[in-house]
Each structure stands twice: as structure tokens, then as C-alpha cells.
Amino acid sequence: MSKILTAKEVRTEIYLYNTLQVDAVRFNDNGNILIADGEEAASCCLNCANPRCMFINEEASQCTKFHDIAGSVDLHMCPSRAISVGERSIEIDKSKCMGCGLCARACPVAAISVVNGKAEVHKYSNEKCIRKLPVTEKAIEEQERFLLECGHIKKQGMILQESDAVMKNIHKYVHFLHQDKQNIFVRNLFILLGNHVTIARKGNVYMRLDGFYQNESGYGVLEVETGSDTLDVARAILDDIAVLNSRHGISMKDNDPLAVCLYLPNKRTDYWQVVKDIKEVTGIKIRTLTIGALLLMLWNHVELQDFGSFYIDVENTSIRKELERIIGRKIQISIGTDGILESQK
């Protein structure tokens, strides 16, 4: 058949910096800065034809070490789908935004900030260093070349200053996300930290694992728990490893499992002892991370591709020290807050 109609172009214009060489971007409280050839300019939304803040790179949602998984096809970056394309810039629906900063980290030119718990887009306002382009194939190609270059630039400053209140607010949102969206959120966090992650599509009762990650240091199964049933996470990981070993040829000894929780399990739960038992008997080291810890690394521009140091058990139920080492400073979250960095009770 013929006569396919073209989709209406919502964008009326896209933008490009006059320079092709950006040295760094800096996150500031009062507007982010782009640094090129020693000069500073305000960051602003380029209204990208291929907006990194809206969609993850599809390639990063696939793991070459484990093809045999029906992965989620949801490529949205924002777990609450608060971002949409506008005529002159992307738009953020603040009623949906949970202020997690995923979009801010994903934007190559730091055109998004998180202010008072909500993402805010810096829109073009006749900056001298930026030119407007019509939405043509040629302009889109030019913009894409520029953005690819930007992928490697240095990022300075913090996307968001952590505090007990900030973390509690985001936790509240994450808690109420549908489980599929929580898993997608975790996937996107890991991808932005430099990993490849596939999240299993819902409804596949035989593929019980939540996901699979892969990076330069290794690969393994991923289980996400946002409730209090953390003991089930350890059991699920043992199940995942057995199934992958026997049915899919992924050897137990190469499989470095990761448990991602919203709250670290309480000290009095048996999770920590069971994790130790599993290590003693099978040699499997279950690494335990929290969504809050991943967010802290995200806001501080960390690239994390080795989870080995996040093995904790009954001997030590805190990841604070390790996280402070990675970020390079003290973390401004009170001891025990929401079980983000250490177990409560």
C-alpha cells in the first residue's frame, strides 16, 4: 500500500551551539554552564531530534552475554513519563516528575536541573552562542554529530545535593510506582552509570529473574525489591543462577548477582546471615545496593562498572563507607535514613 502520512513534527525548531568542541558542563544552582574553548555559556535545551533525556539507548538495554531473554521494550527514560516533546524544547509535566534527576544526567549539555524536587528545563532565550535550525534532515544530522561528541565531555558539580528530605521524597514516589516501572527505573539508573542492563518483560513466568546486567568487569543476574520481602531476593537469585546455569549455559562461577533494594534490610532480619551462608556454602557473593545509593552516584557523575565492593553481609551491613570512597566525599544523609546506606535497627 502507499500514501503513508508522515507524523506531524511537533518541534518547530532545533538548536545547536556554534562550537563543535565542548570541554565540560557544570551543574550550578542558578543555571548550568557549558564550557567551550575556555568560554562559558548558559546551557540550554537543544530540542534534540533524538532526545537522550526521553529515551535510553536501545543498545544499552541489551546484554551480549545473555541473548536468550525477552527484554522489556519500554525505552522511556523517565519512569513516570513526565517528559514530552515541545515546539521549542522538551516539556516536563511537574505533576508527574519525581525529581530523580535521570533526565538531568542523560542530557549531554546539562540543560535540565532539579530545582525544589522537580526537573526544570533551561530553554533557549536568544543566547549568542546558539543558533536556531529548521527541522530538516541535514540539521538533525548536524545536531546528532554534536551530541555524539558531547557524550564524552566532563561533567562538574552535582545534579542534586542529597539530604534526608530529598531522599525520602523520591522514595515515596518510587514506592508507589508500578513494579514494572520500578524495574525500568533501576535499569535506567544502571545504564546511566555505564552498564548494559536488560529487564525481563513481565508475564514470562519461566524467566523469573528481574534483569541481567553486563559491564567491563563482569555480568550477572539482577533482582529488585522495593518492599520488605528481601529474604525472597536471596532465594530468587539462587533460582536465577540455577536456571541460567542449566538452561542457558551461563556458568555459576561467572554470574555475579546483584540485589537492588529500596531499603537495606533491617539488621534483625535473617537476610544478612543468609547472604553470608550462601557465600560460605556456594561461593556466590550477593552484592546488595540501594536505589538511593545508585541515585547518589548518578547525581555525582560517577561511572560504576564494578560492584564487587558492594558485597556486605551480617559482619557489615553498611555501604556508606564504600559509597563515600567512590564519590570522594562525606554523604549528607543521616545514619539509618530509610535504610539507604546502612541497615536500620
Partner 1 sequence: MIRFRNPGSDLDTMIAVLKQLYHELHEKDFFDNTDIAKVLSKANLMASSGFTGDKAVALGANTNKSRDKTYNNAKMYAEIFRILGFLSIVNDAASNYRFTFIGEHMAAAGVDAKLLIEQCVLGMNNPNRIMDVSYKESVRFFSCVLLTMLELDDILYRDEMILGPMSVNDNSEEDFTNMIDFIKSLRKTKSERKLSTELEKLAKSQTDNKKEGMTVNSVQNCTRFPISVLKYCGWVENIRCNIYGKSMVFMKLTPYGKETANKLKTYKDIRLEDYEKLSKSHREALIRLGTYSMLGRAGFETNVVQAEMDKDAKEIESITEGKEVLFSPYQTLDFITVNDALNLQLTPYTASQKNQQSAVLKTYAKRIIKKNVVELDYNTAINQNLMTEDTDNFIRNVMQLIQREKSTEQIVKILVEEHRGDNKGEFYPLVETLFRIIGVDCRKSRDGVNGERWDAMIRDAHKSIPIEIKSPGEEENVSIKAIRQALENKIVLLSRKTYITDCQTSSFVVGYKAPNDRAEVAELIQNIKETYGYKIAVFDIASLFLMAVNIIVNKKGINIEKLYGLEGIVNVKDIDC
Q: Which is nearer to partner 1, 34 or 209 (CB)?
A: 209
Among 16-24, 32-40, 128-136, 241-249, the segment contacting partner 1 (CB under 8 A)? 241-249
* CB closer to partner 1 out of 13 and 180: 180
70 binds partner 1 (CB under 8 A): yes
Q: Which of residues 158-187 bind partner 1 (CB under 8 A)?
A: 180
Assess 94 for contact with partner 1 (CB under 8 A). Answer: no
We find the least distance from the C-beta atom of residue 74 to partner 1, in angstroms, to be 5
Which position among 63, 92, 97, 278 is part of the footprint of partner 1 (CB under 8 A)? Answer: 278
Q: Binding partner 1 by CB under 8 A: which of 14, 46, 78, 207?
A: 207
SS3 42: strand
Among residues 343, 342, 300, 332, the alpha carbon closest in space to that of 167 is found at 332
Q: What is the dihedral of CA 246, 249, 253, 255, to 10 degrees?
A: -100
Residue that is written with C-alpha cell 551491613 in the block: 317
Nearer to partner 1, 273 or 316 (CB): 273
Q: For residue 138, give the amino acid letter.
A: K
Nearest to 144 by CA among 45, 60, 58, 48: 48
User: What is the Cα–Cα distance from 122 to 108, expressed in whole angstroms?
Assistant: 13
Candidates 24, 42, 75, 302; binder of partner 1 (CB under 8 A) is 75
Q: How many residues appear in the chain?
A: 345
Phi, psi of 277 (to 5 degrees): -55, -45
Q: Which residues of 227-257 are buried (b: 16+ CB within 10 A; e: fewer)?
A: eeebeebbebbbebbebbeeeeebeeeebbb
Sole window of 29-37, 38-46, 62-70, 314-322 interacting with partner 1 (rule: CB under 8 A): 62-70
Compute the distance between CA of residue 302 and CA of residue 288 in angstroms, rounded to an integer: 18
State which residue, 61 or 215, has the beta carbon closest to partner 1: 61
* Candidate residues 118, 132, 276, 320; the one interacting with partner 1 per rule CB under 8 A: 276
Using CB under 8 A as the criterion, which residues of the chain lie in contact with partner 1 when the complex forms? Answer: 1-10, 55, 67-75, 180, 201-208, 231-232, 234-236, 238-239, 241-243, 245-247, 252, 268, 270, 273-274, 276-278, 280-282
